[in-house]
Structure 1
Amino acid sequence: MSEVRGLEDFWARRTGRAPPGPLTMAERILLDARGLGLEQVLTYLRDWPDFATFAAWIAATAGPPDAERIARYHAWLAGDPVPEATRVRLAAIDAMPPVLDADEIAHWEAHGYVILRGAIGRGEAAAAAELLWRVAGADPGDPATWHGQRNNGIMVQHFCDPALDIARYSPRVHKAFAQLWGRSDLWSIVDRMSFSAPPAPGRPWQGPLLHWDVSLALPIPFATQGILYLTDTAADQGATQVVPGFHHRIEAWLKGLGDADPRAVDLSAEGVTIPAGAGDLVIWRQDLPHGASPNRAARPRLAQYVNMYPADLETNPEWR
């Protein structure tokens, strides 16, 4: 694992063997390029393994490193031009016909979210759904198993599997994000899955209500978030919920609150749920209030979080 530059330094910082400091963009890209989720890595490092043990865990968890992604990460780290394989791949993304048409882009600009229909095939979505059922320890035919001993609400902390990589590295998905960002030199985030079951006696719905995952200190930089539905998802089936168009008024709204906590304001009356089909990807702006809606249907909502970002992603150091 020594061929992946910065990995041992990351291990030293995150196990207290070196001053930790905030997560850097180099660390973010390192983990995504190596096919690892940030949360799963930080959770594993809580036990302070030695580096050899950590490296062995990475190999067992994420498999061998992807040569092109690691070469691209090393080139970025050194300030060198992207490798030829990456250049060719990104040029192919640029040359692709748009996957979001003019009406969909207009909807994005007006409402702050868009649905990429058929981001992956229905068979590919079904394969990821089968993985999620298995990881969640749930049986599709037995509702009694739908509320397992998970301690992250609707979040399922599983990150590494070829079935999940289909969407992460799909050219069609990449093209959609490239259209929204206005650039193709984006990195794919290795993120987790979501299993939102209908409430059961003694097991209330545990999903997050409308919220933001970004600092609300102004200015809020542009970025995206996304969720891929792995099964057909009705509006009452725990579908993603947003407040459409809120990005147009969030700055004035925040200034009007004064010292009040914006995260304590209930915006649920303005929330709109977004039904979509298996393999459809919902993408929204990070300054849009969003969350999973309560599941009032007869079946769980199964989903995978999918997103992309540029290496010069802006963040606000002040948290509000």
Structure 2
Amino acid sequence: MNKLETIGWDSSVQDIDKENIARVIAVQKNSYRILDGEMEYFSHLSGKFINQALTSLDYPAVGDWVEVQKLPKEQKAVIHQIQPRKSQFVRQAAGTKTEAQIVAANMDTVFIVNSLNHDLNLRRMERYILSTYESGATPVIVLTKKDECTQEETDLIVAQVEEVAIGVPIIPISSITQEGIEELMTYLPAGETAALLGSSGVGKSTLVNTLIGNKVQETKDVREADSKGRHTTTHREMFLLPNGALLIDTPGMRELQLWEGESSIDATFQDIETLESECKFTDCQHDTEPGCRVQEALANGELLEERFLSYLKLQRELAYEKRKQDQKAQLAEKSKWKKISKHQKDNYKHRKKR
């Protein structure tokens, strides 16, 4: 095994000079920590890289493979290029600007972490599942703090989650009693990368410490009154587990605004998609049309109204985001050609003066 394979290098990746390849293991603002399988380096982006980056998606994220120039004596490096990603979890950045934010890259699995207390939110879970399918990774639901619930309560919550996480593995665990940890590890084989995603206070950092067997992440208690978590992880970071798997921990997300997901909505809502295919008319609006299978399922309780409304809401949200992104792309293109035109005019004036 070469040194890059110890940090998740996939041997099927195109043949390139591996000597100058490293993996991004932490991102803090404009600073990047990278690892080449032997040594860590603090790195920054080359001027050419910055000039050629057009959007936030062009910048390195935790999990990325990058081409670098190493300065071993100073333990520093310069990042020149990102290798093509096999997966990327993207969300709409918080705030009002239309901008993508990469949460993690090149992961095989996404652990969608919820706690078995008041944090459980099925509608939010649907968003995470949709974004995970869109990322190119495989979703797994992890329900933490099993030690705080009875078996009956756990079974009830798992049954609720099964209704929205169709075909997705669901693993209730306890970082205190270690229950469920062995099953979780079956989704963390050596050489593969997983990312932990979820709200603050659901136990992501505690889980990282449990899996590593050492306190590498700070943890804080959850407020008793509303089970709201407090931010502990402040940046994204990748850890190497004792068995050779890699785990990306991420700060808690208060909200998950969708960036894309049109191609994965059918996998996330396959129950509704199946019902729609059984409607009498192919262009059924699921309103007052005769022979509407969706309305029939809503009436007899086969399909919950909350889930159907969530499906419609996410479709509207994705359509709205697409319109905003298209509008931004048009403005960016217009701005680019204005700059080119101005540059050409300036050159023409300069030549005339000569």
Question: TM-score scaled to structure 2, two decimals?
Answer: 0.24
Give the structure, 1 or 2, with the largest relative contact order (CA under 8 Å, sep 6 or more): 1
